[in-house]
């Protein structure tokens, strides 16, 4: 039995879930398969004869033009990623496989929608470096930030401060109101701490009810004292009615200064932790 493959090829191209583009040397779309409507929201006849560069995300134009030059110079590009703007204004992330056909005088590209994959990759990267409950920096990323800050401080002979913050009697909230209420309080504390620092500073949840704050480019020790007093004042503000009668726990803050209290991360963390426990003992004695 003879199968007419020549007649079958166009049907196969339009059956593909990925979108096939044929683009001439002037970037004009000569052909696009039916899948383009799912990908970009345009029907094939709307795209044919227009410039493919018109649909590219402006921030990706330079990198895409470099890829186009590479392909037209005879080097297929099978793993190129960029973004396009859909007809509805949305952004789609695309993975391309493209080559130049001298016979046709055009480049042929197959475009795959990887928007969901890109979003999943972004979320995974975020989760690798952030606390899943509060979305604060986690212990791992905080350690990297502290090492980088120490490196800069040594190079520029500047100072930095490390604050170690622990909630007093937080267990009472979990025991009395449940862990869901405790989680809401931790998220509220995270937002309050973020509101106390600059974008160049870092707030992290180290685990449980322990938080750290990294303050860089300090002008004086007085600035650290003022920051601690600000945090204590912000933390002392009562919780809103939506917390159902939960009382905001007080907190104990330990401080370590570079270089006075240590010149490496472990020493500074140990000093701030020890200072926090000293403050906590004073709180217990006063209470």
Active site residue 209: yes
Contacts of residue 125, Cβ cutoff 8 Å, sequence gap at least 6? none
Two structure tokens written together for 115: 């928007």
Residue 224, CB-side half-sphere exposure with 13 Å CA sphere: 21
Measure the CA dihedral 239/241/246/248, to 10°: 10
Distance between CA 48 and CA 45 in Å, rounded? Answer: 5
Two structure tokens written together for 116: 């969901």
DSSP lists the bridge partners of residue 145 as none
Judge whether 50 and 65 are in contact, CB under 8 Å: no
Among 18, 113, 209, 273, the one annotated catalytic: 209
Judge whether 256 and 269 are in contact, CB under 8 Å: yes
Two structure tokens written together for 84: 């396009």
Judge whether 281 and 250 are in contact, CB under 8 Å: no
Judge whether 201 and 223 are in contact, CB under 8 Å: no
Active site residues: 209
């Amino acid at each position: 039995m003879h199968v007419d493959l020549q007649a079958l090829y166009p049907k196969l191209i339009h059956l593909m879930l990925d979108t096939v583009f044929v683009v001439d040397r002037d970037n004009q779309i000569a052909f696009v398969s039916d899948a383009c409507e799912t990908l970009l929201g345009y029907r094939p006849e709307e795209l044919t004869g227009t410039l493919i560069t018109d649909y590219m995300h402006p921030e990706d134009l330079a990198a895409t033009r470099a890829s186009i030059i590479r392909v037209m110079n005879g080097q297929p590009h099978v793993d190129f990623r960029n973004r396009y703007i859909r007809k509805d204004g949305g952004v789609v992330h695309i993975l391309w496989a493209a080559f130049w056909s001298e016979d046709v005088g055009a480049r042929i590209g197959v475009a795959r929608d990887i928007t969901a994959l890109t979003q999943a990759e972004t979320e995974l990267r975020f989760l690798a470096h952030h606390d899943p409950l509060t979305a604060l920096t986690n212990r791992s990323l905080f350690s990297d930030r502290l090492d980088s800050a120490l490196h800069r401080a040594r190079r520029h002979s500047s100072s930095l401060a490390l604050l170690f913050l622990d909630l007093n009697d937080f267990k009472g909230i979990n025991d009395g109101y449940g862990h869901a209420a405790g989680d809401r309080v931790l998220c509220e504390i995270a937002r309050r701490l973020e509101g106390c620092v600059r974008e160049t500073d870092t707030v992290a949840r180290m685990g449980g009810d322990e938080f750290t704050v990294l303050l860089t480019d300090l002008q004086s020790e007085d600035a650290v004292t003022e920051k601690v007093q600000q945090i204590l004042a912000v933390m002392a503000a009562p919780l809103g009615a939506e917390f159902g009668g939960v009382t905001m726990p007080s907190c104990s803050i330990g401080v370590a200064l570079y270089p006075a209290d240590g010149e490496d991360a472990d020493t500074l963390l140990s000093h701030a932790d020890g200072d926090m426990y000293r403050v906590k003992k004073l709180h217990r004695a006063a209470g």
